[in-house]
Structure 1
Amino acid sequence: MDIQLSPEDAAFRQEVRQFLRDHLPEEIKARAALTPSVFVEPEVGQAWNAVLHQKGWLGYQWPVEYGGTGWTPFQRYLFEKECASAGAPNLTVLGLKLLAPVLWTFGTEAQKRHYLPRILSGEDYWCQGFSEPGSGSDLASLKTRAIRQGDHYVVTGSKIWTTHAHHANGMFTLVRTNPDVKKQAGISFLLIDLDSPGVSVRPILTNAGDHEVNQLFLEDVIVPAENLVGGEGQGWTIAKFLLENERGGSCHAPKLIYDLDQIVAASRDQGDGRGGRLLDSVDWKRRLARARLGAHALDMIELKIVAEIAKGAPPGPQTSLTKLLASNLRQEIDLLAVDLYGLAGLQLEKARPLYDENAPETILSPASMVASARYLNSRAWTIFGGTNEVQNTIIAKSVLGL
């Protein structure tokens, strides 16, 4: 899709492209391409974060007073699009794009001064403690308790599917501070130091063999009361704000289009099993066209949201639509990658990482080796951040007014 840019935006895009050519290391690109998990590994993501932080571009979505760039919403979109087109890894989203907006919106001045610089520097690495056993899509039913005792809380409970908890030194989490009111009204938002006594992390391996998520246990963990974000009982409001950023805080379409382009390029040299090229198969071209039309339609929807944000509107419930569409397209494109490579695409190597000198041998190519694992991991897209069913309900109620 070709967008008519103003001279200022055209110059900005050229600046970003030149920066990526000069400062995006090939090693980081190669490692990102061979990472099958949904979230980029810290050794890859944090290395790229450091490059952007040195440039002053890491907090590109942040307000200027907290280390942001002052870019317009459309310039932020252009930056994400160019990064995706260059094969850059995704940024470390949990601290940068989920917790940080919560802190500058609901946090105290002391919390902002302490935590925001540490997110940018990489000194703090955060995980999200929302889901619990039995409390996933029905998040308001969570049971983890935080009992106020003087100047601290005593927290007991467990969280599950906590992405990168084994790497993190902090967790932003929802806890129940009042069990005697309506379930949404009794929830608070708390920051927990994962080095605290009573915290333990148990790994959960995905079907693809990746250690990305965990179950985390909290046994009488002492948390200073100053780690409460917002007021007691405000956790549900903060969680909804955060989830809107999680579902629509980034532009998904450029990355989907980039991955689709890689599949098209690879299919030029791939046989169709009948003596011809896969790219000449009518059925294959139909599948590619359907995915591409979906990705470009999503691109237009995300641009419309960007335009509304530029007018001062919050992301809003329409982000559920982008989350729904992006999740389905992600799975569709990852299935195309598996089918592209045939039997070689079924290779499911459990060794990690799949790059550098200790990487296992590939049957056909590095891209074929990662295809099956990436497909299995992307099944989580229609679950995390709210299942497809949850998104459909939000769209029906809040967008369509049904």
Structure 2
Amino acid sequence: MHFGFAPEDEAFRVEARDWLAAHAGTGLDRRTWERTLGKAGWIGIGWAEGGYGNRTATLTQQVVWAEEYARAAVPARSGHIGEKLLAPTLIAHGSEEQKSRFLPPIAAGEELWCQGYSEPGAGSDLAGVQTRAVRAGDGTYRISGQKIWTSLAHEADWCFVLARTDPEARRHHGLSLLLVPMDQPGRIEVRPIRQATGTSDFNEVFFDGAHARVEHVLGGEGAGWRVAMSLLGFERGVSTLAQQVGFAEELGRVVRTAVETGAADDPVVRDRLVRQWAELRVMRWHALRTLGGTRSPSVAKLLWGGWHQRLGELAVLVRGASAGAGPAAWSATAPYELDADQHLFLFSRADTIYGGSDQIQRTIIAERVLGLPREPRD
């Protein structure tokens, strides 16, 4: 696939950059910011035409928007799970009633979503999901179980939950994807997970007889595995290129620190800095070459997960002893502040685990791309 930016793409870039600059520093809370984006037509620009999204944009213009957003001094998105993951899946697998119900509020920034996939015993091995959804006689399912590492569950209005609707089926059989409202006091409990960074970006979510309507099963009962795999394919697309903008800024900071501390005088450190720069360029070319294609997204996850983890290690290396100077008193309960390099190092330790561990990604590539014999299953 040939990928390049045409004059109309650059004009779109100017429009996006000007709008973002005009709205930077407004101090809006994240939910109000989502509504502001929706009102201006910046949510759902990559959706298929059908009256559900806002303005339409080509694939290259979607890349432009993602890159300019990553560079702008504006709030982090809280609606991206609904926009980038659920919405394309609804368009591909949802009924017309489901599309009409859920796509417009996402495009308007009115309803926020979270993803209920991983469980304590089923993280990278998603086929081991044990959360149950039992069909009741009143046109609903009753959901019981636990999800973990659920981003933005404390803010979300809805959750798409992968659950087992056929208790007799094993592994990836008998699963369904249900659209579940989060406002069910006593039936859904969200508990923040405190991380090594001192922040709580993820949550545990407990379902105790939570209700989901029968007509809110996406793709039909028993189609959960197929729909869930389709959704994961949307997870690594245009957003990968925006992610690389942030990576480039982090790398630039590490290089500047290396020069300031004199660490760059060490030829081994210089070699590692150059290698990080070259590998980031390769990741960008790979992302551009495969954008919109059918190649395995597992390759991209392997590339950036290890790269970002090595950058975190390099960040503390070039800092020297000062990288270990943390708060005067570390506490398991009280919040504490980390500088950018410390946060990068600690958070990136999980890069090769979350979103599918490196081992799982290699198995996917081996079996589904290279056609090697399947790993033995119990």
- The TM tier, using the shorter chain, reads 0.7 to 0.9
In structure 2, do the counterparts of structure 1 residues 124 and 390 end up closer, same or farther at CA, with 3 Å as the change threshold? Answer: same
* Match of residue 398 from structure 1: 368
DSSP 3-state at the match of 2:261: coil
Among 342, 359, 371, the residue aligned to 1:372: 342
Query: Which stretch of the first structure deviates more once superposed, 128-137 or 7-16?
Result: 7-16
Equivalent pairs, count: 359
* Match of residue 264 from structure 1: 255
DSSP 3-state at the match of 1:211: coil
Q: Is the contact between residue 251 and residue 277 of structure 2 (CA under 8 Å) also seen in structure 1?
A: yes
Equivalents in 1 of 2:182, 2:269: separation in Å?
48
* Match of residue 154 from structure 1: 142
Equivalents in 1 of 2:368, 2:23: separation in Å?
43
Aligned Cα RMSD in Å?
Answer: 2.6
Equivalents in 1 of 2:312, 2:231: separation in Å?
27
Q: Is the contact between residue 347 and residue 372 of structure 1 (CA under 8 Å) also seen in structure 2?
A: no
* Match of residue 62 from structure 1: 47
* Match of residue 283 from structure 1: 268
Among 82, 88, 92, the residue aligned to 1:95: 82
In structure 2, do the counterparts of structure 1 residues 66 and 139 end up closer, same or farther at CA, with 3 Å as the change threshold? Answer: same
Report Cα offsets for 1:256-292 as digits up to 9, x if no partner: 1232123334444x223xxxxx444433322221111
Q: Is the contact between residue 328 and residue 382 of structure 1 (CA under 8 Å) also seen in structure 2?
A: yes
Q: Is the contact between residue 246 and residue 385 of structure 1 (CA under 8 Å) also seen in structure 2?
A: no
Among 147, 171, 180, the residue aligned to 1:192: 180
Q: Does 1:82 align with 2:60?
A: no
Superposition deviation, residue 142 in structure 1: 1.1
Pairing 1:358-369 to 2, within 5 Å after superposition:
369=339
Q: Is the contact between residue 199 and residue 219 of structure 1 (CA under 8 Å) also seen in structure 2?
A: yes
* Match of residue 99 from structure 2: 112
Query: Which stretch of the first structure deviates more once superposed, 71-80 or 252-261?
Result: 252-261
User: Greater RCO between the two (CA within 8 Å, min separation 6)?
Assistant: 1
Superposition deviation, residue 389 in structure 1: 0.9
Equivalents in 1 of 2:18, 2:157: separation in Å?
35
Equivalents in 2 of 1:281, 1:203: separation in Å?
42
Among 137, 140, 143, the residue aligned to 2:124: 137
* Match of residue 229 from structure 1: 218
* Match of residue 336 from structure 1: 314
Report Cα offsets for 1:125-145 as digits up to 9, x if no partner: 221111112111221121111
DSSP 3-state at the match of 1:66: coil
Superposition deviation, residue 332 in structure 1: 2.1
* Match of residue 52 from structure 1: 37
* Match of residue 171 from structure 1: 159
In structure 2, do the counterparts of structure 1 residues 289 and 69 end up closer, same or farther at CA, with 3 Å as the change threshold? Answer: farther
DSSP 3-state at the match of 2:167: coil
* Match of residue 193 from structure 2: 204
* Match of residue 244 from structure 2: 253
Superposition deviation, residue 348 in structure 1: 4.3
Equivalents in 1 of 2:265, 2:5: separation in Å?
35
DSSP 3-state at the match of 1:372: helix
Q: TM-score if structure 1 supplies the norm length?
A: 0.81
Query: Which stretch of the first structure deviates more once superposed, 202-211 or 236-245?
Result: 202-211
* Match of residue 301 from structure 1: 286
Q: Which runs of 5+ in 2 are unaligned?
A: 373-378
In structure 2, do the counterparts of structure 1 residues 213 and 10 end up closer, same or farther at CA, with 3 Å as the change threshold? Answer: closer
DSSP 3-state at the match of 2:177: strand
In structure 2, do the counterparts of structure 1 residues 347 and 110 end up closer, same or farther at CA, with 3 Å as the change threshold? Answer: farther
Equivalents in 1 of 2:38, 2:66: separation in Å?
15
Report Cα offsets for 1:291-319 as digits up to 9, x if no partner: 1111110100110122xx2xxx4xx3521
DSSP 3-state at the match of 1:183: coil
Report Cα offsets for 1:345-395 as digits up to 9, x if no partner: 3344579xxxxxxx97x8xxxxx7132133212222212221111111122
In structure 2, do the counterparts of structure 1 residues 19 and 59 end up closer, same or farther at CA, with 3 Å as the change threshold? Answer: same
DSSP 3-state at the match of 1:175: strand
Superposition deviation, residue 119 in structure 1: 2.0
* Counterpart amino acid of residue 328 in structure 1: G
Percent of matched pairs sharing the same residue: 36
* Match of residue 359 from structure 2: 389
Q: TM-score if structure 2 supplies the norm length?
A: 0.86
Q: Is the contact between residue 173 and residue 190 of structure 1 (CA under 8 Å) also seen in structure 2?
A: yes
Q: Is the contact between residue 159 and residue 216 of structure 1 (CA under 8 Å) also seen in structure 2?
A: yes
Q: Is the contact between residue 208 and residue 374 of structure 1 (CA under 8 Å) also seen in structure 2?
A: no
* Match of residue 18 from structure 1: 18
In structure 2, do the counterparts of structure 1 residues 70 and 298 end up closer, same or farther at CA, with 3 Å as the change threshold? Answer: same
Q: Is the contact between residue 193 and residue 202 of structure 2 (CA under 8 Å) also seen in structure 1?
A: yes
Equivalents in 2 of 1:4, 1:158: separation in Å?
45
Among 227, 248, 252, the residue aligned to 1:238: 227
Equivalents in 2 of 1:193, 1:201: separation in Å?
13
